Structure 1
């Protein structure tokens, strides 16, 4: 599975990051397929550069962004902001439990 994630760069105590497409099994700072952006949280304001075309291409072809990269892509305008209730955890359907209760009472 291909992930869009951050690759740490810079000296000790002075990090900046590259946004890369990499296989999920590869190490964080190891191999990568392509650099699609740059993020420096230490500047004021932060620096964020993203190749929008390549980011959208990877997303269309099944790449999964990490939570941090997803937030950065929303800031860059590549992804729409998450709506309330669109979390990754699926909620139980209450109608399924009432249907089974109704079927038991009818029997």
Structure 2
């Protein structure tokens, strides 16, 4: 069973709220999970402490059991100094506007 630490969406339409959960990688995004490890509320200001709440002890336990964090959760854990911050990949030329657009 491949375990992932990932986000599970909750909340109302256009008012998202995410649970940080450990789940089997084959289960649906909002489906069954093993344990809730924290919350993420993107509607709160970025400097607010309640924007990202993590249960550090339990996250460390699941990481030691082989669970792999998703990209977004890995960034949260890196900002909390729980793991090394993952590097962002360099943008390719595709992100630049085409010359015809610049005219």
Q: TM-score range by the shorter chain?
A: 0.7 to 0.9
Corresponding residue of 1:12: 13
Moved more, 76-85 or 63-72: 76-85
Which of these two proteins has the greater Rg computed from alpha carbons? 1
Partners of 2:79 and 2:88 in 1: CA distance: 17
- Normalising by structure 1, we get a TM-score of 0.73
Q: Deviations over 1:17-73 (max 9, x none)?
A: 010000001000000000001111110125111000110111111001110110011
Alignment check: 8 A CA contact 1:7 1:18 kept: yes
Tell me which of 66, 70, 85 is aligned to 1:66: 70
Change (3 A) 1:13 1:84: closer
Tell me which of 56, 75, 82 is aligned to 2:79: 75
Count residues with an aligned counterpart: 85
Give SS of 1:62's match: coil
Gap runs ≥5 in structure 1? 86-107
Alignment check: 8 A CA contact 1:6 1:69 kept: yes
Give SS of 1:9's match: strand
Which structure is higher in helix share? 1
Deviant stretches of 4+, over 6 Å: none
Gap runs ≥5 in structure 2? 90-103
Q: 2:7 aligned with 1:3, yes or no?
A: no
User: Root-mean-square deviation (CA), in Å?
Assistant: 1.7
Partners of 2:88 and 2:10 in 1: CA distance: 34
